[in-house]
Amino acid sequence: MAHTPRPWRPGKHGGCVVSDKPPQGVRKETGHADVDYYGGFLICESVFRIEDAWLISAAPDLYRVAKDFEEVLKELGLFCECGRDDCRTTRLRVALSKVTPLLPAPTTRSDS
């Protein structure tokens, strides 16, 4: 996946999240490269709660870990494709599908 390189972290102003490395194709006139103002290359701004900015900052690392766990589950033969809403593997697949929305999301079903 070609997201902006990590690490991401809260920046200096306006509930922003920044990266130490520039987003691909960033242009100076957009303001995303105003490293002096934001404290890094701008990922997003106007995030109201700092806790949300921390969560957004952690997203690339969480994505990497989720992909690692998906791989481990497959290697161990534990990758479940039952599709139940309460299945941890289903929830992992659904979460990962949100990162690559152009791919088909796994189907889920609930027994309720």
Residue 105 binds Zn ion, judged by CB under 5 A: no
Task: Pick the binder of Zn ion from 50, 62, 82, 105 (CB under 5 A).
Answer: 82
Least spacing, CB of residue 101 vs Zn ion, in Å:
22
Distance CA 86, CA 6 (A): 31
Nearest to 65 by CA among 98, 92, 41: 92
Distance CA 41, CA 52 (A): 18
Buried b / exposed e across 36-60, counting CB within 10 Å, b at 16+?
Answer: eebbbbbbbbebeeeeebeebbbeb
Specify the stretch interacting with Zn ion by CB under 5 A; choose among 29-37, 59-67, 70-78, 80-88. Answer: 80-88
Residue 87 binds Zn ion, judged by CB under 5 A: yes
> Which residue, 35 or 87, is less far from Zn ion as judged by CB?
87
Residue 55 binds Zn ion, judged by CB under 5 A: no
Residue 80 binds Zn ion, judged by CB under 5 A: yes
Least spacing, CB of residue 40 vs Zn ion, in Å:
39
